[in-house]
Chains A and B, each alone.
Chain A
Amino acid sequence: MKNRVHTVTFLALLFLACMAEIFAQGIVIRGQVTELETGEPIPGATVVEVDDNERVIKGTITDYNGNYALQITSIRNQLKYSFVGFENVTEEPANRTTINVQLSSSMIALEDVVVVAQVTDALSGINERDRASSAVKVDMSDISKLSVTSAADALQGQVTGLDIVSSGSPGSGAQIVIRGLGSLGDSRPLIVVDGIAQDISRSSDFDFGSADVEDLGALVSIAPQDIKSIEVLKDAASTAVWGSQGADGVLMITTNRGTKGKTKFDYNYKLTFNQSPPPIPMLDGNEYTMLMLEELHNSAGVFDLPPEIAFDPNYGDFYNYSANTDWISLITRTGVSHDHFFKLSGGGEKTQYYASVNSSNETGITLNEGYKRLTSRINLDYTLSRNLRFAVNFDFTNSYQDGNWYTNQDVTGDGNRERLTVRRMAYVKAPNMSVYEYNNSGKLTGEYFTPLESFQGDGEIFFNPVAVADLSERDTKTNRFQNSFVLRYRISKKFRFEETVSFQYEGRKLSIFLPYSAIGTDWLDDNVNNAREQNNHNQKISSRSLLIFVPLSNETHELSGRLMFQVDQYKSDFTQITTRNGSSISISDPSAGALVSNIRSGSSETRSLGSLLSVNYKLKDRYITSIILRADANSKFGSNNRLGFFPSISIAWRFSEEPILKSLSWLNDSKIRFSYGQSGKQPDQAYARHGIYDTPQNATYFDGNVVIPIQVQLANLKWQTIESYNLGIDMSFLKNRIFFTAEVYNKLTHDLLWENYDIPSSSGFDVIGWFNGGKVRNRGWESYMRYYPVKRKNFNVGVNFNISRNSNTFLEFPENFNNIRGEVVANGVFPRQANTGQPIGSFYGFIYQGVYPTNEDAFAKDKDGRFLLDANGNKIPMTFADGTFFQGGDAKYADVNHDGVIDIYDVQYLGDSNPEIIGGFGSNISYKKFRASFQFLFRTGFEIVNEIAMDTEGMLNRNNQSKAVLHRWRRSGQGVDDSYILPRAFYLHPANNLGSDRYVEKGDFLRLNNLSIGYSLRNNSFVRRINIDELEVSMNMRKILTYTNYTGQDPEISQRMEDPFWFGTDNGLSPTPRVYSLIFNVRF
């Protein structure tokens, strides 16, 4: 009964409302908007009709004379008058039909309108000021003016505890590690863009042989100018809201949005030159030939002179083998990049918009490598009413990475296959070979010189790097699309609801082609006209419902809570086809009638559910507590371990607000904070836990089908959990001119996830897909300081300094884990050990002591320096583990146990690859229209294995060597007073190039990472005349100065712990270039 009354009343009201609408039809309000101060009319001012909920019903814009006419729907509604740079005015129409309004100019400067306070993080509900966990926010408004091509470049050296190592090849991402290596394999942080996690997952049978590590690590390709801020979440209390993915930290990227006001255009052009650091000087053809003759002579005594190095004019290939080719300079060039960025933003009462287009075209420092990218972004905000708002984000990236073919081969003879890129080959390729082929009378034939079998060996392995760079293809085309929709609804004063739906899609196509003419091979060989095409499609749909309640909010108490529920679905599939022996060197399409080498395809799907409950409480703006409980369930786990539970708590005391301290004028906002939390990590592959039976490559045997087990079922797979404690202090002094923060942390990884964990092959399998076991600890401290010594209207100086230290330790290994790896001592090999209590990345090797000057010196001595004698009183020769006697000119290693044999027992600890202290410092100066800034970056306390030196100074194979070998032992007696002399050249010597401290160097460096100078024209009569708000020209230089004792090309070596035996080597694949750019920026 009561219900019916309600219904009737409701209907009646509705009817009345409609009537009111009808009655209001036809009421037209006219008027003029003028400036209060001058009385001048304001053209383009906004006039809108809004209802009680501030929902915009209708609107118009004043004409050139400031006049407007608006037909309103209801006289009960209000009229709102606004214009950029003026205070808003609201009028009640009542019974008036003419309303003239005067607007007074607001105090807010135009510039500041751009900054819209991002009040709180949607998920945790904590605003930046009250945060008790460890996170750093970097505003990108300044950084966007630098010549960076990615967000990672911009962050390098700026944030404590964040270690970024950039890469030299265009389009490949940087390595990012937050607070040390906490996971095996990939410690890459989770990247979140505008609240949407950017997952990179993969199909279980995805072919990793052809995928770059960098591909997976690439930072989401966002134009840096689109980025408003980046927040680095470091401890588990702050990453806990991301629960299942945040174990290795989170990078939260916020993009720019439109703001109310006049439409603004912004155009930005960057011209950048990338210059390769000076390469290691290599031998020329004549020096190389001499070295080879010596190498062969020393090893074989009398030998048949190979014609390639015999200088024999009657030899058919004489002209092809008497060149002086500088392979490295032939494949190296100065990279040039052009970057255009255009954006437009603005908005009215109802809608704010931001749209941008960025096109970037970069040529790499290696011949025929490059990167092109086109991105566009549209961010829209729409206010339906005070209670209902929605936002739409849309972005699209199209990129094209142009690379060169490479192969995986063992070129140095140490048994390890390594990636043999064009650049790597340029180092080892014999310089006496010519680039182009000569006929036997010395005339160029116009073809690349690619013999089937050269002096160095197989023409497929020792390819012609220039030919491969010119003719081969390894191109990746990527299309990335992301769309998200956010609806915010204010249910009541205390409750709000937010729904986010997002869709991500990535399509990637890799094409590889190696034409016959690029390598030396028989025309029936598998590599001839080898073409591959691989297509990947990944898509993710996720939705998130968030209920926010604020039951209490007054002067003393502030209590709020959030309840979130999230559903994610991720799908990925790929197809790959490889064909060979295509009919033409110019048809790179694998479908063009060639022999099929293999066809592969696969797909995978992952689903996850997450929920979160968080409660924040603040008392008197001084005592702050926040509790987050997050639970996640993921289809990658079996039902027994599916649920992961990640709690966290953080507390803070803002002591500066205490009454006693509040009176101190020099002390500003300061607090002490503590946090504890957990977050998780899951395996990468979707179906790792299943025991799978499948058909092998040959699907039949004799007369029946074959099905075999290919994957072991994982009954014990569970979440990897990272637990972290953080204690920090934030202090501001002197009207916030000094800001200081310091933190200590302890981060423990439990149930470490191992991918493809080795098991004894007596089980019938090599590996189990994933295995949980062991414990890793990262602990350290961080400190950051910012100071503005000068802060005036026309002159500003800011300095910043940050330093952090992390120590990484394996606390526990899995049961049955063998901590010694590689007991065979051989050239190019460092025996490895992993010990509990020691940092990861330790390496072991021999102690190098120069060379034996004469044969007489190569006898074993006891620890007092006396010769060891055998039973007959003869001196015992120094012997290598395989029985070879050392002789004059051979490398001398410390015989630590004085037994006359150089073997595994003489191996000593040599160093570790973990940087102890990283940091940076810099300054920003602005004086009137000038602006300058610089930023230094340092990394200290780690050792590098200089693998490129090891490969180019060994003199025991037919690879080209560096100029350093010109100072080698050549005759008996050399090297007595010369500790820099290198051992003699000896073809295939078993011990002259052992893993020793000869190749271990300190990697400490200090680098001028950024230097930028700019001049800006604003409010200048010239620019005004051409209707431009601002014109700015700046110069930027990156990585131009490096102070280091490291002798290799670049001491910036990435950290990536594939296994506990990992250590960092410099293999010189892609040195980071020096970057010079010219930037031109115009706003109108």
Chain B
Amino acid sequence: MSLAQILIFAALGLLYQPLARRRGREWLLLAVSVLALYALQPASPVRHLDFWLPTASLGLAVLTWCATRMQEERDVAEPLRTFAGVAALVLLLTLTRDLGPAFRLTATRPPPFLAAVLALVILAVLSALALAARSRRALVGSAALFLIALFIILKSEPLATGASAFLRMQTGQRAELAAPLDLRWLGFSYIAFRLLHTLRDRLTGKLPSLTLREYLIYILFFPALAAGPIDRAERFAGDLRSPSPALAEGGARVAIGVFKKFVLADSLALLSLAPATVRQTTSPIWLWILLYAYAFRLYLDFSGYTDVAIGLGRLFGVRLPENFSRPYLRENLTAFWNSWHMTLAGWFRSYFFNPLTRALRSARRPVPAGLIVFLSTMSTMILIGLWHGITWNFAVWGAWHGAGLFIHNRWADLLKRRGIRLSPQGAGGRLAAIGGTILTFHFVTLGWAWFALPGLDLSWRLLLGLIGARP
């Protein structure tokens, strides 16, 4: 989100206040979220793709709602009204096709009206088929697999390039110009994880009953589109049904987020770690400074965006979950991961780590406790790494943290077994806390060497450079 877009959303939040407890507020939130989905989508060199990607987000959300809807629910009017309303908005956007760029919401010229009509008809037919499907479990499973496959294609550079080449051929463009960035799909990482969460909770029976309108607002809630946080449907629905907008709190949070993102993070971005600076800097001290700058830039950028999202959410009466809680002041790596990108870590904990740990514990052949911790921690962290992009660097970054968490777990277990516990009030305890914070911060910061740079060789070069040993 740009500063101008944030200001527009904040102004909308001000205008929303008188409507916050009136009927029709959900319609307003849905309309703003749908329009924001198109407005925030970056331009793509593939013709009309910056229109079709948001439309696909909408389509996926509608179809997933159909797959997760309780079969005993009979209300037809609400979903039809919501679908018609959303379709009208989408068609309205295509009508701006012949107007100048100043009157368009989409990044480039939208496709013809009839193409959008055809897409919406296909979506309606697929939705009807999904609602009529007999085996809801198979449908939910297929939907989850489809989302994961889509996720893998988008996060893998060769696959994304191939997909872009395919799309370019469909639009009569040159396939050899395809690049992974052609498929920059606004918020897909977050949208997909919300969809997977509802699919999984539908299978376990935890998902509350949601109308299509509520479901679409949850999936596409505009403050959390670009950078999360990943809320839970049942919590979000509660806020949606009894909203409590907080103008001052929301406004202050937006202001804090804007300052963190656009003043502090953007300033640090000028001098933080980059492939060129790693190659050009020879002094270890300056390499450390660049690495620290990256660590703080990343935190301020991401947490600033989260502050903006939470603040905007408060203006619209939704209390989005916190995503950061002073992560760099944590005394150990486990505490760090309980305070850094908390909603993503929580998602993986709920839907991967805990089920895997349970499965390993209840395996027929007993698995040693240490091995269970190692396998579940390492695989979870590698998956979190790959969530950012399917590259060796992200995998190593995940493994770095997996190893750190495993070592901390074993160390904490050893201390517990030996009955060693330092009083937090005592000098030893305070010293251990300070030492732990410094150690954890530097472990995390060194880990950014894998995260920030595009190749393992460059990351290794940086790590060697930090100790004055250049290859």
The answer to whether A and B interact is no
